[in-house]
C-alpha cells in the first residue's frame, strides 16, 4: 500500500494566503464607487397609515401642547440661598508645626521650662468667609404685581431669593409670608417687572378622580418640564401630626425641583401647587401630591393681607370611627362622623355643650367623614364666627351652636387630634375573662408608681398579657380606664376594680366593647369585638 505524500506548506506562505483572502474580502465589501448618489434612495413607505382620526382625536392631539404653551411662562424657577459665615484661623496648626530654624521647635512647648521657651511668632489672623448654599424649586406667578405661590419648604431659611422666568429674565424676590402647617409660602418680586404672565386660578373642588392634569416645574434643574397624568385621588392625608392636608394625588411625574410648581387641569386652570411625592428611591414612583388651589389661595390671601393665617379652633381631641366603635355605639355600618375623644375645659366646644363620646356629623353645614375633613373644615372657618354643630349622642341627633376660637401656639401645645391613638381596625372575638388585662383601683401608691395626677379618676391597668387581645388593641400598663361601654348598654364611669369587673361580667364572644382610656394626660377611645 502506497502512502501519498502531501506537500508541506510553509507557515509564512499560509499567513500570506490568509492576508490575501482578507484583503480581497475587504476590497469587495463596499467600494466608494458603489455608493448610491444622494437622493437616489427612497426612505420610508410611500403612503401614510390608513388610520382615520375622529374630530375628538384631532382636538385631543394638541391639547397638552396648547396647555404647555399657555402655562409654562407662568411657572418660574425659585432659587433660595442661605448664607452662612464661617470663622477660622489661616493656620490652625501653627502651635505645633512652626519652623524650628526660626527658633520655634514644635516640642518646645512640652519639653522646655517656662524660662527657656523661645518666643513664638504672632498667632495667625482670624478670617471670616461667607458660604452660600443654594437650592432649587418652582413657583407660580399669580398676580401682575409679582406675587408668586410656592412651598414653605422651598424658601424656608432663605436669606436671598432669586426668581428666573421662562423668558430668561431674572429678578430678586422676598418672602411675603409662609405657613408651615399647610406648606404654603408667598414670595414677591421686589424689582419692577412688566408684562408678567399670570396663571388663572381654577376651582379644585370641581376635580374628580380620573380627570386629566399636567404638572409643570423644574425637576432636577430641568426648567419648564411638563408631565401629564390623571387625578388619582382627592383629600389625601399622608402623614400625622398637626399639619393641614387635603392633597390632590396624581400620577403625573413629580420629582425633586417640582415643589411649588403648577398642577393644571385640561382647561389650563391652576388647580394645585405640587408639593411632595411618595417614593422609596427618592424619585418618581407614580404617586405625587399637590395642595388644592382653593386651600392655597385661602392661605395666600391671609398671608398677603394679614401677615398670618387665622384658623378656627374647636378645642377637642378627635378620632376616626372604627367598625367596632360604631357597633359599640349602636350605629349602622354606613354611619359616618368623627368621635370626640376629649373636650378641653374652657374651650369653644366645652362652652357649646359638646361632650366626650359625641360623634360629630357636620359643622357649618358641611358633613364630615373623618378626622382630616373635620380638622380642615374647622380651620377654614373664621375665628369668632358662630356655626351650627350637629352631633350624635345616645342615639339621638343634637344640633349645637359653637363660637369658634382661634388656633394659636397655646392650642397647638394641647394638641388638636388623637388620630395617632385611633384604633381603626376591626378586631376578632374572645371572652371577657380572656381579655388578658388586670386592673386595680387607683390608690396613692398607684399614682406615684404610674405618675398619675391627683384628679385622675378610674381604674389603672397594671398588667397586660403579651399575647392577649388587650395587648393587640394597644392597651398598656399605666393606662387608666375611665369608662366602659358594652353594646346595648350606656357608657358607665368606673372608679373601682369591682365596678370594672361588674360591667364586663356578662360579656361574651362577639360583643362590642369600648373603653375610654387616659394616657399621658390625654383621653381616647378603644373599641373592639371580644374574641373567642
Task: Given the residues 259, 322, 411, 417, select the one marked as catalytic.
Answer: 259
Residue 224's SS3 state is coil
DSSP string, 60-126: HHTHHHHHHHHHGGGEEEEEEEEEEEEEEES-TTHHHH--GGGT--TTHHHHS-GGGPPPPPPPPPE
Residue 319: its H or E element: strand 316-320
Separation between Cα atoms, residue 366 and residue 235, nearest integer Å: 15
Separation between Cα atoms, residue 171 and residue 410, nearest integer Å: 39
Backbone angles phi, psi at 169, to 5 degrees: -70, 145
Catalytic (active site) residue 246: no
Separation between Cα atoms, residue 408 and residue 199, nearest integer Å: 33
Decide the pairing of beta strands 225-236 and 212-217: antiparallel
Please state whether 420 falls in left (phi above 0), alpha (psi between -120 and 50) or beta: alpha
The answer for residues whose C-beta is within 8 angstroms of residue 63's C-beta and 6 or more apart is 266
DSSP string, 399-433: EEEEE-EE--HHHHHH-S--GGG---S---B--GG
- Going by the DSSP 8-state scheme, the letter that residue 309 receives in this structure is -
What angle is formed at CA 73 by the lines to CA 71 and CA 77, rounded to 5 degrees? Answer: 115
Q: SS3 string of 119-137? A: CCCCCCCEEEEEEEEECCE
Task: Given the residues 98, 138, 178, 183, select the one marked as catalytic.
Answer: 183
Residue 192's SS3 state is coil
The separation between CA 363 and the C-alpha centre of its own chain, rounded to angstroms, equals: 26
Task: Given the residues 105, 143, 153, 431, select the one marked as catalytic.
Answer: 153
- Environment class of 102 (CB within 10 Å of its CB; exposed 0-12, middle 13-18, buried 19+): exposed
Catalytic (active site) residue 279: no
Give Cα separations from 163 to 137, 142, 152, 170, 175 (angstroms): 10, 14, 16, 6, 12
Task: Confirm if 288 and 249 have CB atoms less than 8 A apart.
Answer: yes
The count of residues in the chain is: 532
C-alpha cell at 234: 382627592
Catalytic (active site) residue 183: yes
Place of cell 432669586: 162
What positions carry a catalytic annotation?
153, 183, 259
Amino acid at each position: 500500500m502506497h502512502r501519498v505524500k502531501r506537500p508541506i506548506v510553509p507557515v509564512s506562505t499560509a499567513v500570506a494566503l490568509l492576508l490575501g483572502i482578507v484583503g480581497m474580502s475587504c476590497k469587495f465589501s463596499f467600494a466608494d464607487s458603489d455608493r448610491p448618489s444622494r437622493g437616489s434612495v427612497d426612505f420610508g413607505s410611500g403612503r401614510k397609515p390608513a388610520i382615520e382620526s375622529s374630530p375628538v382625536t384631532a382636538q385631543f392631539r394638541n391639547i397638552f401642547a396648547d396647555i404647555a404653551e399657555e402655562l409654562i411662562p407662568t411657572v418660574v424657577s425659585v432659587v433660595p440661598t442661605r448664607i452662612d459665615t464661617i470663622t477660622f484661623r489661616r493656620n490652625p496648626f501653627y502651635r505645633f508645626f512652626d519652623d524650628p530654624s526660626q527658633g520655634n521647635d514644635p516640642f518646645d512647648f512640652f519639653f522646655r521650662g517656662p524660662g527657656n521657651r523661645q518666643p513664638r511668632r504672632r498667632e495667625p489672623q482670624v478670617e471670616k468667609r461667607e458660604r452660600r448654599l443654594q437650592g432649587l424649586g418652582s413657583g407660580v406667578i399669580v398676580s401682575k404685581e409679582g406675587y408668586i405661590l410656592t412651598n414653605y419648604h422651598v424658601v424656608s431659611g432663605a436669606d436671598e431669593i432669586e426668581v428666573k422666568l421662562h423668558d430668561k429674565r431674572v429678578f430678586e424676590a422676598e418672602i411675603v409670608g409662609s405657613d408651615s402647617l399647610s406648606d404654603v409660602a408667598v414670595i414677591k418680586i421686589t424689582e419692577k417687572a412688566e408684562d408678567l404672565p399670570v396663571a388663572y386660578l381654577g376651582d379644585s373642588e370641581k376635580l374628580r378622580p380620573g380627570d386629566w392634569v399636567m404638572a409643570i416645574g423644574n425637576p432636577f434643574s430641568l426648567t419648564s418640564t411638563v408631565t401629564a397624568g390623571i387625578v388619582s385621588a382627592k383629600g389625601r392625608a399622608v402623614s400625622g401630626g398637626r399639619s393641614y392636608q387635603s392633597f390632590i394625588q396624581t400620577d403625573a411625574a413629580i420629582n425633586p425641583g417640582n415643589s411649588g410648581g403648577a398642577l393644571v387641569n385640561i382647561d389650563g386652570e391652576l388647580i394645585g401647587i405640587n408639593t411632595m411625592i411618595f417614593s422609596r428611591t427618592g424619585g418618581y414612583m407614580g404617586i405625587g401630591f399637590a395642595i388644592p388651589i382653593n386651600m392655597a389661595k385661602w392661605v395666600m390671601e391671609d398671608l398677603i393681607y394679614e401677615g398670618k393665617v387665622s384658623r378656627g379652633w374647636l378645642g377637642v381631641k378627635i378620632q376616626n370611627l372604627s367598625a367596632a366603635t360604631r357597633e359599640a355605639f349602636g350605629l349602622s355600618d354606613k354611619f359616618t362622623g368623627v368621635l370626640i375623644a376629649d373636650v378641653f375645659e374652657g374651650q369653644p366646644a366645652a362652652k357649646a355643650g359638646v361632650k366626650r363620646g359625641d360623634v360629630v356629623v357636620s359643622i357649618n353645614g358641611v358633613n364630615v367623614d373623618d378626622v382630616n375633613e373635620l380638622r380642615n373644615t374647622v380651620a377654614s372657618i373664621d375665628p369668632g364666627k358662630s356655626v351650627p354643630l350637629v352631633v350624635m349622642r345616645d342615639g339621638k341627633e343634637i344640633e349645637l351652636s359653637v363660637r369658634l376660637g382661634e388656633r394659636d401656639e397655646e392650642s397647638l401645645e394641647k394638641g388638636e387630634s388623637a388620630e395617632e391613638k385611633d384604633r381603626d381596625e376591626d378586631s376578632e372575638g374572645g371572652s371577657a375573662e380572656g381579655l388578658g388585662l388586670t386592673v386595680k383601683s387607683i390608690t396613692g401608691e398607684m399614682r406615684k408608681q404610674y405618675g398619675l395626677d391627683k384628679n385622675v379618676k378610674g381604674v389603672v391597668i397594671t398588667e397586660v398579657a403579651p399575647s392577649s387581645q388587650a395587648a393587640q388593641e394597644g392597651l398598656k400598663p399605666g393606662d387608666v380606664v375611665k369608662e366602659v361601654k358594652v353594646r346595648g348598654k350606656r357608657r358607665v364611669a368606673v372608679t373601682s376594680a369591682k365596678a370594672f369587673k361588674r360591667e364586663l361580667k356578662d360579656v361574651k364572644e362577639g360583643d362590642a366593647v369600648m373603653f375610654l382610656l387616659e394616657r399621658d394626660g390625654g383621653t381616647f377611645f378603644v373599641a373592639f369585638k371580644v374574641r373567642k
